[in-house]
Amino acid sequence: MTVRPILRFPHAGLKTPCEPVTVFDEELRALAGDLLDTMRAAPGVGITAAHIGDFRRVVVIELDRKDGVRTYINPEIALFSEETMRHVEGSVSMPGATEEVVRPRAIRFRYADLDGIQHEEAAEGFLAICIQHEIDQLDGVFWLQRLSRLKRDRLVKKWERTGA
């Protein structure tokens, strides 16, 4: 597989909504493999095809190597819990920049696997946060948009001075 270049904030592609995957083939498997290698090299725990300029609804998450890689094609959230949690988030497109974000603690979501087989699962805690974060990216919502204007402006100014 290949480590691919990652779009860096504020690239316009990071605001581009992704299209559903309709073809489940070896090229899709190769993309998922490239995403995994790219995410590990970044390093990160989650990545979307949009992060590398491929605007299809593909997510790869690996919270821990012993737990394995999760690949979600065309994921969508069916249900959010009312209970929320705070977690520090960042992005492979904005290395070194992090801030606390509040999101629902648990979700129920649907997705297809690499063979096109549909699944529905529940997730909570850190996995739920990661899935919501990556689905936002597929929808063209960069994680900074989940911050207050003050926090976002402060973080972007810092990023422009040190990370861009």
Domain positions in the chain: 12-162
pLDDT value at residue 65:
83
Give the CA count within 13 Å in the CB-facing half-sphere of 97.
26
Catalytic residues: 134
Round to whole Å and give the CA distance between 64 and 128.
15
B/e letters for 88-126, b = 16+ CB within 10 Å, e = fewer, are ebbbbbbbebebebebbbbbebebbebeeeeeeeebeee
CA 160 and chain centroid, separation: 22
Residue pair 100/88 in contact by the 8 Å Cβ criterion? yes
pLDDT value at residue 160:
87
User: In terms of DSSP bridges, do strands 70-80 and 84-89 run parallel, antiparallel, or are they unpaired?
Assistant: unpaired
What is the fold of 12-162?
Peptide Deformylase (3.90.45)
pLDDT value at residue 139:
98
User: What residues in the chain have per-residue pLDDT under 70?
Assistant: 163-164
